């Protein structure tokens, strides 16, 4: 394989792994925060909120990792002649990214009184989304502030829907 094609193939593999990481972090911050917010609004029972949060993060991290693995493996099967990223590595990156980011909205529930913890969880997740957007902008050589705001608004809106659902279906 010519040198320039090898470089392009390595660049694609690297971008696949970065995509897996960003996808896992963003999805976990949004879904876990939405879940925590929705349940916290619906009930003040800390044990229930923590149980739901840990179960969701564990199940979703495994599900996302499996989905990433199967997607990359399918892509390889369809395009056998091209060099691809390793599905196991892609799945592992997705799992670690999702699991680690999911702890951001859960940890405040462990360390703060519940009435205060939900606000800390939401703020931490929103800061995490903004920082993820800044990193996205830096990596893609786009305006980092605009990228940070975009990820914050899109992800933050999705996460806030969880709180709205919690208010609507308050138990």
Instruction: Confirm if 138 and 124 have CB atoms less than 8 A apart.
Output: no
pLDDT, tens only, 93-113: 999 999 999 999 999 999 999
pLDDT, tens only, 120-166: 999 999 999 999 999 999 999 999 999 999 999 999 998 888 778 87
Three-state helix/strand/coil letters over 90-138: HHHHHHHHHHHHHHHHHHHHHHCCHHHHHHHHHHHHHHHHHHHHHHHHH
Residue 165 CA neighbour count, 13 Å, CB half: 14
Residues shown for the chain: 171
Tokens read off for 12: 């694609």
* Entry pTM: 0.87
């Amino acid at each position: 394989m010519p040198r320039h094609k090898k470089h392009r193939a390595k660049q694609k593999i690297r971008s696949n792994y970065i995509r897996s990481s960003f996808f896992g972090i963003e999805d976990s911050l949004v879904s876990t925060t939405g879940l925590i917010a929705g349940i916290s609004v619906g009930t003040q029972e800390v044990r229930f909120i923590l149980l739901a949060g840990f179960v969701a993060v564990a199940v979703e991290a495994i599900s996302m990792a499996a989905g990433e693995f199967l997607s990359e493996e399918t892509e390889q099967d369809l395009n056998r002649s091209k060099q691809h990223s390793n599905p196991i590595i892609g799945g592992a990156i997705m799992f670690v990214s999702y699991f680690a980011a999911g702890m951001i909205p859960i940890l405040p529930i462990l360390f703060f009184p519940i009435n205060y913890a939900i606000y800390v969880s939401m703020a931490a997740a929103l800061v995490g989304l903004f920082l993820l957007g800044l990193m996205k902008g830096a990596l893609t050589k786009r305006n980092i502030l605009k990228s940070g705001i975009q990820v914050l608004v899109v992800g933050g809106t999705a996460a806030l829907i969880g709180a709205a659902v919690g208010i609507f279906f308050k138990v």
